[in-house]
Amino acid sequence: MPVVETASASAWMLEGSAISYALALGADRMPRNLHFGPRLHSASDLLALAGSVRSPGVAPFGGMYGQEYPVWGGLFYDEPCLKVTFADGTRGLVLEYNSHRTRPEDDATWLDVTLRDPAYPLLVHLHYGVYERHDVLERYAVIENTGDEPVTIEEALSAVWHLPMWAGYHLTHLAGRWAAEMQVYREPVAPGRKVLESRRGHTSHAANPWFAMDKGDATEEYGGVWFGALAWSGNWKIAVDADTTGQVHVSGGLNDFDFSWHLAPGESFRTPSFFAGYTDRGLGEASRILHRFEMDCVLPRAFASRPRPVLYNSWEATTFDVNEQNQGRLAEIAASLGVELFVVDDGWFGARDSDRAGLGDWVVNPRKFPNGLGPLVRKVRSLGMEFGLWVEPEMVNPDSDLYRTHPDWVYHFPNRPRSESRNQLVLNLARPEVEAHITEALDRLLSDNDINFIKWDMNRPFSEPGWPDAPVERQREVWVRHTRAVYRTLETLRERYPDVAFESCSGGGGRVDLGIMRLTDQTWPSDNTDAFDRLRIQEGYSMAYCARTMMCWVTDSPKRYSGRAIPLRYRFHSAMMGSLGIGGNLLEWTERDLEKAREFVEEYKRIRHIVQGGDQYRLLSPRASAVTAVQYVTPDRSESVIFVLSSPHLLGEPAPTIYPRGLEPAAAYEVHPDGTRASGSALMGHGICVPLRGDWASALVTLRTG
Ligand code: GLA
C-alpha cells in the first residue's frame, strides 16, 4: 500500500519502492513530520515513530518542530509556508487538523489532509502524492476561502521538507548567468538561511529551482541525498534553514517578494508543485530518479516516447537576416546532412531587421517572404523535414504596431520610466485581453501555416511590474498571473494542435524547470554553444533534467564570443550528449566538414535512443578533471555509450581510467571502437582506458551485449 495510516488515523506513511515519508498529528492537532528518507518496512515502524512526535512546548521560545505546513502566527519565527491577513486586520494564522482522504490519481497515490482555522472560514488542503515506482513525492497546497470576506495571502509556499537532524549537511545547487547557466555549486550548510530564488518573472539564469542535500559524504555513486525541484516558471524561492541544534529543512514555492493575492469569498489558490525524493545512492542516482520521472510522468505525453528529431536552427547563421532564399539554401544542405526538423529563428515577422523593432507583430514580413511562409514550408517538407518557427509572445518592442496601438499593455508604473532590456518591454499577460491576444496570434500562425514546432522564447526579465488599471489589492498578483497565462496559452495550443512540439527558451536557459517541462518537449539550456563551455552547462542541466530535453547545437568554429577553435568531432560529441541540433552557417562549411557532419548525424541516430531514453552516469566531471566522461545506458542494460572529451592538458598527464556504470554484471559486452569483449563486471570493475591525444580530442565508445 503506497499510503498507510494508523488505526487512530492520526499518522500516515507514504511509501515508494525505496523511500518512506511519514507524518502524524501532534498534541496541537497539527501534522508534523516523522520521517523522510529510506523506506520503513512496516506499519509498526510508523506507530513507533508516531509515539515520538514532537509537540510545541519542547522549545520554549518557538521553533519549527517539524511542522508539515508551518503558518505565521504565535511563537513562530522560521520561514512560514503561509502568511495571510484577514479582513478584520488579524495577521496571525491558527490551523488544526480537520479531515483527510487518500485517492489514486494518474501515476501517484495521494494523501490529502485538510486543516482549518478554528476562528476564521479558511481551509488549507495539503496534497501529498507518492509516485511509488519512481520514488518521487509531490506536494502542493490549496488555500480556500469559505467565508464571505476576502483574505489576503502574503506568502504561500508549496511545502517544507524536513531532513533528519544533522549538523554537517552540504547543499548542492545550480547558479549561473547568461551564457553560463546551471553551474554546479556544493557548499556546507551553516546555521542560518540560504535562499535560492528568482525575482525576475521567469525561472532565471542566476539560479534554478532544484536542490540536493547530503550529509557531507555523498559522491556521484554513494551517500544519502535528499533532492527536490519546483514546478514553477515565475518568481520562486527555495530556502534552506539550519539552526544550531541541527534542525534543517528546505522550504519552497512561490516567492513572497512583492507578492500578494486577494482571495475573494469562495475562491481557492493553488500553489505550484514541489517534487522531492531521497536515495542512498549518491547524486548520480538522485539525477536519474528525476530523469526517469520526467520522461514517464512530466513531459507532454504526445512526444514523450518518440525520439526528438535532429534539428537545424538558423539563428547563428543568418540572425535577423532571414528570407525565403537563404533559408531555402540552408534547408537543402541541412536535409542532405540528415536533419529532420528545420527551424527558422528570429527575424521572419514584422519590421524585425534587428532587435530594435517588430516584436509583437506576428505577421510574416512581406519583403523577406513575399509569398508568406508557404513556399519555404513546402520546400522544407519536400526535402523530408518538418518545419519549425521561433516566437517571443510575451514581449513587445516599443517600435512595433502592437505597442503603438496598446501602450498600456505592458507592465509599467505611472510616473516611472519603462526600463527596456534588449529594446523590449514585457506584455502584461495578467490582463485577460493580452493573454487572449497572444493566444489568438499564435493560433492564427499555427492554423495558417503547416508548422510542427515552436521555439517559445522570453528574452528579458520583468521590471516595473505594475498593472495600474487593476484594483490595488490585485496589482501584486502579476507575478503569478503571468506564469499561469503562459501555461494556459501553451495548454490551449497543445490541445488545438496536438502534433506541434514546443521548445522553452529564455535568452538561453532562463526558463528550465519542471513547470514548463509539463508543457514543452525540450528546452534550450544556453545561448553559449561553445562545445567546451557547454560541458559544464550540460553537467549542471543533468543534475535535474533529462538529456532528451536538452537541446545542443553544433555551431561554427572559432566561436564569435569565446574566440575558441574546436574541431568538428569534439563539437559533435559535445552536442550528441543531449538532443542533437546543428546551428552553424552551413553555407560556409567545407565539403569535408559537411561529409563528416553527415556521418555524425547518422551515428547519432543509431545511438539516440540510448542518450534520449537511457540512464545517465556522470563518470568524470569537467569541473574536476581535464577529461569529461558521460555515459548513457538503456533501461534493459543491453546498450551503452560513453562520451569522452578532453580539454587542453599537460604533456604526460595520464589519461584517467574510465569506469562504466549501470551495466549488467554477468552480460558480455562488445566495446567499440577497440573491439574488446568483456563482462559488465569486468568493465565496471577494471575500467577502460580511452587514449586521447592532443587538445580537444574526443571519443564515442559504444558497448553492446550479444
Ligand atoms: C534568444 C535565444 C536565441 C535566439 C535569439 C533570437 O537569445 O536564446 O537562441 O533565438 O533569442 O533573438
The mean pLDDT value of the chain amounts to 95
Cell of 414: 505611472
Q: How far apart are CA 505 and CA 485, in angstroms?
A: 17
Dist. CA 573 → ligand 1 center (Å): 23
Q: How far is the CA of 358 from the centre of ligand 1 (A)?
A: 15
Q: Are residues 675 and 661 in contact, defined by beta-carbon separation less than 8 angstroms?
A: no
Give φ, ψ of 190 to 5 degrees: -105, 160
Distance CA 21, CA 106 (A): 20
Within 8 A by CB and 6+ apart from 649, the residues are: 626, 627, 695
441 against 695, higher pLDDT:
441
Average pLDDT, integer, range 554-567 = 90
Amino acid at 504: S
* pLDDT higher than threshold 80 for residue 425: yes
Task: Give me the domains of the chain, ranges plus CATH numbers.
Answer: 3-280 (2.70.98.60), 627-705 (2.60.40.1180)
Cα–Cα dist 575/198, whole Å: 28
Using CA atoms in the order 73, 118, 158, 57, what is the torsion angle rounded to 10 degrees? 50
d(CA 637, CA 614): 9
Amino acid at residue number 390: W
Mean pLDDT of 567-582: 98
Residue range 117-169, pLDDT digits in tens? 999 999 999 999 999 999 999 999 999 999 999 999 999 999 999 999 999 99
Give yes or no for a cis peptide into 673 (omega within 30° of 0). Answer: yes
Q: Which of 353, 389, 527 to mutate to test the pocket of ligand 1 (most atoms within 8 A of CB)?
A: 527
How many whole angstroms from 447 Cα to the centroid of ligand 1? 24
Q: What is the 3-state secondary structure (H, E, C) of 57-71?
A: CCCCCCCCCCECCCE
Mean pLDDT for 586-605 is 98
- 177, 356, 459, 522: residue to mutate for ligand 1 pocket, most atoms within 8 A of CB: 459
Q: Can you name the residues that pair with 268 across neighbouring β-strands?
A: 144
List the residue whose alpha carbon is closest to atom 7 of ligand 1. 507
Computed on alpha carbons and rounded to an integer, the radius of gyration of the chain in Å comes to: 26
DSSP 8-class letter at 413 = -
Q: Which amino acid is at 657?
A: T
Residue 282 burial (C-beta neighbours within 10 Å; 0-12, 13-18, 19+): buried
* Residue with CA closest to ligand 1 atom 2: 507
Q: How far is the CA of 392 from the centre of ligand 1 (A)?
A: 9
Distances (CA, A) of 496 to 408, 422, 632: 29, 32, 35
| Separation of CA 173 and ligand 1 centre (Å) | 26
- 85 phi/psi in degrees, rounded to 5: -125, 130
**Euclidean distance between CA atoms 493 and 451, whole angstroms:** 12
Grid cell in block for residue 128:
501529498
**Cα angle for residues 504, 507, 509 (degrees, 5° grid):** 60
Average pLDDT of 598-619? 98
Q: What percent of the chain has pLDDT over 70?
A: 98
What three-state secondary structure class fits 685? helix
CA distances from 617 to 45, 175, 626, 660, 664 (A): 34, 21, 18, 8, 15
Exposure string over 130-144, b if 16+ CB within 10 A, otherwise e: bbbebbbbbbbbbbb
How far CA 205 is from CA of 178, 232, 509, in Å, comes to 6, 14, 6
* β pairing state of 96-105 and 82-86: unpaired
Nearest CA to ligand 1 atom 4: 315
Cα–Cα distance, 337 to 581 (Å, whole number): 11
Q: Which ligand 1 atom is nearest residue 506's CA?
A: 8
Q: CA-to-CA distance for 594 and 614, rounded, in angstroms?
A: 29
Distance 508 CA to ligand 1 centre (A): 7
Q: Taking the model in full, what pTM does it have?
A: 0.97
Q: Which of 177, 457, 506, 534 to mutate to test the pocket of ligand 1 (most atoms within 8 A of CB)?
A: 457
Cα separation, 487 vs 515, in Å, equals 8
205, 505, 534: which to mutate for ligand 1, most atoms within 8 A of CB? 505
C-alpha cell at 230: 519546483
- Kindly give the distance from the C-alpha atom of residue 455 to the centroid of ligand 1, in angstroms, as a whole number: 9
| Residue ranges around ligand 1 (CB below 6 Å) | 315, 345-346, 390, 457, 459, 505, 507-508, 524, 527
Q: Grid coordinates representing 86? A: 484577514
pLDDT in tens, 68-127: 999 999 888 888 999 999 999 999 999 999 999 999 988 999 999 999 999 999 999 999
State the Cα–Cα distance between residues 131 and 289, nearest whole angstrom.
11
Query: Would you say 589 and 349 are in contact if contact means Cβ atoms under 8 Å apart?
Result: no
CA distances from 574 to 539, 570, 646, 685 (A): 11, 6, 11, 26
DSSP 8-class letter at 167 = S
pLDDT in tens, 249-275: 999 999 999 999 999 999 999 999 999
Distance CA 171, CA 509 (A): 22
CA-CA-CA-CA dihedral for 478, 481, 482, 484, to nearest 10: 160
User: pLDDT class for 177, splitting at 50, 70, 90?
Assistant: very high
- The SS3 of residue 259 is coil
Which atom belonging to ligand 1 lies closest to the Cα atom of 527? 8
Q: Which of ligand 1's atoms lies nearest the C-alpha of 507?
A: 8
The separation between the first and the last C-alpha atoms of the chain, rounded to the nearest angstrom, is: 39
Q: How far is CA 287 from the centre of its chain?
A: 12
CB neighbour class for 209 (10 Å; exposed up to 12, middle 13-18, buried from 19): buried
| Confidence (pLDDT) at 64 | 59
Residue 224: other Cβ atoms inside 10 A: 20
Best CA proximity match to 451, nearest among 517, 392, 497, 506: 497
Q: How close is the Cα of 252 to the center of ligand 1, in Å?
A: 30
Nearest to 680 by CA among 698, 668, 696, 692: 668
Mean pLDDT (whole number) for 409-433: 98
Q: Residue of the nearest CA to atom 12 in ligand 1?
A: 346
CA dist., res. 427 & res. 409, Å (int):
6
* Cell 553527415 -> residue: 598
Q: How far apart are CA 194 and CA 197, in angstroms?
A: 10
**Residue 54 pLDDT > 60:** no
As given in the structure block, the three cell numbers for residue 235 are 518568481
What pLDDT band is residue 58 in, cutting at 50, 70 and 90?
very low
Lowest mean pLDDT, pick from 244-248, 395-399, 472-476: 244-248
Q: Which residue has the cell 501515476?
A: 107
Ligand 1: residue whose CA is nearest its atom 9: 527
Return the ligand 1 atom nearest residue 345 CA. 10
How far apart are the C-alpha atoms of 596 and 554, rounded to whole Å? Answer: 12
Q: Three-state secondary structure along 610-664?
A: HHHHCEEEEEECCCCCCEEEEEEECCCCCEEEEEEEECCCCCCCCCCEECCCCCC
Cα of 318 vs centre of ligand 1, distance in Å, is 12
Contact criterion met (CB below 8 Å) for 445 and 391: yes
User: What is the CA 185 to chain-centroid distance, rounded?
Assistant: 17
Ligand 1, pocket-test mutation among 314, 320, 344, 345, most atoms within 8 A of CB: 345
Helix ranges (H only) for 319-373 are 324-337
**CA 586 to ligand 1 center in whole angstroms:** 19
- Catalytic center residues: 457, 527
For ligand 1, atom 1, name the residue with the nearest CA: 507
Is 695 or 222 the better-scoring residue by pLDDT? Answer: 222
* Phi/psi at 599 (5° precision): -65, -40
